[in-house]
A and B are shown apart, each in its own frame.
Chain A
Amino acid sequence: MFDAKFPSMDRADLLAIRKGLDSGYREFSRAYGDMIETFFDPLLSFLIWFEQLLLDAPWWLVLTILVGIVYGATRSWKLSVGVFLSFLWVGYFGMWENTMRTMSIITVCTVISIALGIPIGILMARSDRVQMVVTPLLDVMQTMPAFVYLIPVVMLLGIGKIPGVIAVVIYAIPPVIRLTNLGIRLVDKEVLEAGDAYGASSVQRLVGIQLPLSMPTIMAGINQTIMMALSMVVIASMIGVKGLGQPVLKSITNQYFTMGLLNGLAIVALAIVFDRASQAYAKRAQRHMGGLENA
């Protein structure tokens, strides 16, 4: 009498649900797709402008500025020389343009993630209720396969840079939110109390104490965000984001091992450069914060 088969929903009902949701969403995208696209227009023009800027500028200028930024932020000759050499290598193997494209989209995605992520993290740290709502959302964003949320985005906005950016930001933003929240919650209670005792307003408390003191943790979050954005490059290329991801995608379909490897290595080189530079910067910016424990 016990059937081996799970008593699942009737196929017809399931079909009806699917049809209903799909057509509902299609209607929605037909009705509002244009409006939403217009909303993202400024971002799109900025993306194109920034990419063209990196592509049009002479390579030696871009390289000089890059190495300059890295040295300025980290004051490390070793790291600067490393960055210089890896970009020379990337350029020599013919991947300069794709690297510039990837760099432009990663930079924009990182900036968007930080701009959205830090305020969300601050809100989460201030209220347990917000934390209760946001945490499961972040879990979903991090574990849901990227392809799944690519579908509605593509349905809504088509193929191109903006859906790519949205996909990358969804995937990459959780670390910066989580670690901003954590960092602020871990700020030494007595220092905060000192702020309160001297009559600091909540803005003075946030800007003067909480953010600076949680900066090491927030920087770790930003670092993770950059790494995750880079790892999304290949998937983003499937919806038309140009850059180092596309040759990799081509290599998979055509079984070009060397081409895949070279472009993969270029992504790794970018990752290492971003990682080391942001970490060295964070360390330098926090050099006085040690010794809290040996007080």
Chain B
Amino acid sequence: MRDTQIQVDGLYKIFGKDPISVMPLIEQGKTKDEILAETGHTVGLLDINLQIQKGETFVIMGLSGSGKSTLIRHFNRLIDPSVGQILVEGTDVMQLGKKELQEFRRHKMSMVFQRFGLMPHWSVVDNVAYGLKVQGIDKTERRAKAQEWLNTVGLGGYEEQYPSQLSGGQQQRVGLARALCTDAEILLMDEAFSALDPLIRSEMQDQLIELQEKLHKTIIFITHDLDEALRLGDRIAILKDGMLVQVGPPVEILLSPADDYVEAFVKDVNRARALTVDNVMKPPAYRVTAETIGGALKQMKNSTGDYGYYFNKDGYQGILLKETLESVPPTSLDDQLNAENWQVLPGISPDALLEEVIPDTLATEYPLPVIDDKGGLKGELSRDCLADVLGGKSRSV
């Protein structure tokens, strides 16, 4: 189990003149609208409890007005909570004084903004070096480091350009490089890719995933796009009207939505692109390793199905059908199994997206074997099962 890096306990944020005075009303269970009508206070966040693990990509998803941007700004205290506690590596962020908070922001967290938040009056390399400049690191050193990160995000050669000379995607790469340049362990990304067009957005997602494989930062990523959330997130939290509706890994959100709200969200997701074979396959399929026809029949006797997947010393070979084997004359039961006895049937990888295996699955009436890269049989995927999942039925695992 990884360590908890950020812990949020009982966090409330109420906007208005006297937030604390509204707390009793919230405890009475009044709704957001009632509170607004009675007191003129807007409830931004309601009883948020979260644990974010070190090194995970934690996606907070919600529609506009759900409070997700408010929530992310609590982690580095750009917004102060009305009630509640935020612990980062055990330190209560609320207890930090002005100077300590500055130090905390300089070294612990960095942030990427929706509309980039670059300094238009500085060159790209100076923008990337901004965090280091604030820390008081001298110019040659910070520029050298900024240069490295610029190269990493693929913007080498653009150092002396100004942000206004770059495209949106390039500007956000600068924003990302700036965030990485301070070596902060926690990366806050506030709708970082939402302002980009779809193609660039998906490129940036790939880049982020690739970087994360090397860097293992703790990333808190805000988005309103469920596809993005499913693609990037190790875990996803769904926020609605300031409340957490569901927190869990992508598959859980997709296959067992907590309520109608999440379900409505999930409905539009392209499951074929979001789920892998691993997520939906049926567990143990029948494995045959006997060398002779008779041996194979004996092994398959215990199986409920009328088929088995044949493995010899070279690994997976194909599917053996009980019917075919039984039609063999009893005299040749001691014969070696040979290529005429089994049907060639492609195996699929557990990591493959459903999308990739649709053609193979539909091409045969038998379930396809799921075989991992070590050659082991992990499960099987039938076309009925695939149809159920893609057809929108919840929970088939």
Contacts and interface: CB of A to CB of B under 8 A. Distances in A.
Contacts of B113: 190, 193-194
A55 interface: no
Interface string B128-166: 001101110000000000000000000000000011110
B328 to A, nearest CB: 72
Given A212-B121, A291-B120, A291-B165, A197 B105 contact: yes
A193 B164 contact: no
A262 interface: no
A198 to B, nearest CB: 5
Contacts, number: 85
B121 A289 contact: yes
A198 B164 contact: no
Contact of A190 (B104, B109, B117, B171): B117
Nearest to A292: B120
Contacts of B130: 194, 198
Contact of B109 (A197, A213, A290): A197
A288 B121 contact: yes
Contacts of B168: 295
A188 B131 CA distance: 18
B134 A199 contact: yes
A146 interface: no
A83 to B, nearest CB: 28
Contacts of B162: 288
A201 B102 contact: yes
Contacts of B133: 208
A288 B120 contact: yes
Contacts of A295: 115-116, 163-164, 168, 171, 195
Contacts of A201: 102, 134
Nearest to A196: B78
A288 B131 CA distance: 21
A115 interface: no
Given A290-B164, A292-B164, A295-B168, A198 B131 contact: yes
Interface in B77-104: 78, 101-104
A134 B195 CA distance: 40
B186 to A, nearest CB: 11
A198 B119 CA distance: 13
Contacts of A289: 120-121, 164
Contacts of A195: 134
Nearest to A290: B164
Contact of A198 (B101, B106, B195): B106
Given A197-B76, A197-B78, A288-B164, A191 B103 contact: no
A62 interface: no
Contact of A191 (B101, B105, B119): B119
Contacts of A193: 78, 113, 117
Nearest to A286: B121
A204 interface: yes
B70 interface: no
A212 B127 CA distance: 14
A234 B101 CA distance: 55
A101 B119 CA distance: 42
Contacts of B103: 199
A190 B121 contact: no
A73 interface: no
B239 interface: no
A200 interface: yes
A294 B103 CA distance: 33
Interface in A253-277: none
Nearest to A201: B102
B334 to A, nearest CB: 75
B131 to A, nearest CB: 5
A25 to B, nearest CB: 45
A194 B117 CA distance: 6
Contacts of A294: 164
Given A199-B103, A295-B171, A194 B111 contact: yes
A10 B217 CA distance: 81
Contacts of A197: 76, 78, 105, 109-111, 188
A198 B116 contact: no
A286 B78 CA distance: 29
A209 interface: yes
Nearest to B127: A194
A208 B104 CA distance: 20
Interface of A: 188, 190-191, 193-201, 204, 208-209, 212-213, 286, 288-292, 294-295
Interface of B: 76, 78, 101-107, 109-111, 113-121, 130-131, 133-135, 162-165, 168, 171, 178, 182, 188, 195
Given A191-B118, A199-B106, A199-B134, 11 more contacts: A190-B115, A190-B116, A193-B117, A198-B110, A199-B105, A201-B102, A288-B120, A289-B164, A291-B120, A291-B165, A295-B168
A-B pairs, top 3 by smallest CB distance, nearest first, are: A291-B164, A194-B117, A199-B105
12 contacts: A190-B114, A190-B117, A191-B118, A194-B117, A197-B105, A197-B110, A198-B131, A199-B107, A208-B119, A213-B121, A288-B121, A295-B171
